[in-house]
Structure 1
Amino acid sequence: MTSITIFGTGNMGQAIAGVLARGGADIQHVGSLDTDARIAGDIVVLAVPYPALAAIADSYGDQLAGKTVVDITNPLDFSTFDALVVPVGSSAAAGLQERLPEAKVLKAFNTNFAATLASGTVGGQPTTVLVAGDDAGAKTALIDAVQAGGLAAVDAGALSRARAGGPGLPAADPRRVREDRLDGRVHPREVTSGRSPSSPRTPAVVLTAARPPASVGA
């Protein structure tokens, strides 16, 4: 049985846990502010806001060595929501890999809504999770776990595909983001149709396994 630890108990953390549990994974939840938990999972999903990544890496770096670590964040400036906070050409995932050189960092779930992960469909098509990373075995393990949970999953290429401002579908256009609450903090989520914050939102692009985009965004 696959063992997966999920940091964060908000909308995305719960939705991802639901998908992976449906596939038979054993799920451990860790609060994003916990600093002394024992990590049981071989795969560790960081379902937290981008600013929490550094503290988790600092607190759990030794335990995360050798594990697959999944970054789902979109690194927006939360004070303005009009800019990214990582250098041009870099990404949240690349920065996390630098902090955790012995971990196998993947980028995934950052283009998904909690609701469409839970429902399993987007616009009548299967919800698709894009997975980028440099370790083929780590990507295969996550893709298998997602598919076992009933969703589609696509190998989106190397971790460099997660760079901010890369070609293809941007994960977090700051003018068009959905805000999910994770542990009481605003967490930007999927690209949306560009409607005003008070209007109903629909995904800007329906992704299917047959047509993966060139980039998974930041």
Structure 2
Amino acid sequence: MSTISIIGSGGMAAAIAGRSAKAGHAVEVIGRDTAKAKALADKLGSGARTGTYGAVPAGDIVILAVPYSSAAAVVADYGGALGGKVIIDITNSAAPDLSGLLTPDGSSGAQEIAKGLPGGTQVVKAFNTIFGHVLAKGGRLDAFFAADDAKVKERVSTFLESLGLRPLDVGGLHMAQSLEALGLMMISLAKNGAGTWDFAMRVDVG
């Protein structure tokens, strides 16, 4: 197993960290709020530890588990410290009123985040189509992901599989636009037609 660094300590960060620790990965929790990060690491047990915000993360895979509105600032705070890492962006770029996405036409949150990262850093879009509390419950959920590099895709697919998820490759990073639109649709569905947040998207192959 490997070391997984998670920037963030909210509900989604906790769900991914919990699955990662259960799968046997070493988990590093990092956040501006060091007390909150330490509380999550302590809750995880299994050798989980906290890292220093802005310093080079211990893991080669780094989960960016912060709101999209904060992502650019976090990336700027890290600067070159994220160079050469695989960054899994879990953000949804939905507008607060759910009127659309906050990203420029033809782009996505993942692509915008990638612009602020140092060269050699690979960005993967994943987890944004799974609600945190649903992920935390366990079970084999479908995990859609998008990235440009074939070797990085293979590595992230293996990581997702280790968490008990079914990895589903949707294509290059440009497909993050579609995944974020799906994330927006799921939030809107929860608030309107479904009337519940207790659901997940699944691909059935007949």
TM-score by length of 2: 0.80
Q: 1:206 aligns with which of 187, 196, 201?
A: 201
Unaligned runs of 5+ in 1: 179-190, 212-218
Aligned to 1:81: 98
**How far apart, CA to CA, are the structure 1 residues paired with 2:180 and 2:68?**
21
Aligned-residue Cα RMSD (Å) equals: 2.5
The 1:29/1:146 distance shift into structure 2, 3 A limit, reads same
Please, which runs of 5 or more residues in structure 2 have no aligned partner? 34-51
State whether residues 16 and 135 of structure 2, in contact with CA within 8 Å, keep that contact through their aligned partners in structure 1.
yes
SS in 1 for 2:182: coil
Using the alignment, how far apart are the partners of 1:90 and 1:32 within structure 2? 28
Aligned to 1:132: 146
The percent of aligned pairs where both chains have the same amino acid is 34
Q: Which has the bigger relative contact order, CA under 8 A and spacing at least 6?
A: 1
- The runs of 4+ residues in structure 1 deviating greater than 4 Å are 32-35
Cα drift, residue 107 of structure 1: 0.1
TM-score by length of 1: 0.76
Mapped to 2, the partners of 1:38 and 1:49 lie a distance apart of: 21
Q: Greater share of strand residues, 1 or 2? A: 1
- Say which structure is richer in helix: 2
What does 1:1-218 align with in structure 2 at a 5 Å threshold? 1-32=1-32, 35-78=53-96, 80-100=97-117, 101-121=119-139, 126-163=140-177, 166=178, 170-173=182-185, 177=187, 192=190, 194-195=192-193, 199-203=195-199, 206-208=201-203, 210=205
CA displacement at 1:77 relative to structure 2: 2.3
Q: Distance in 1 between matches of 2:201 and 2:183?
A: 13
Would you say the 8 A contact 2:101–2:181 is kept in 1?
A: no
Cα pair 1:69 1:106 within 8 Å, conserved: yes
- CA deviations 1:149-208 (Å, max 9, x no partner) are 222111121101112xx49972213xx517xxxxxxxxxxxx537348xx43343x6313
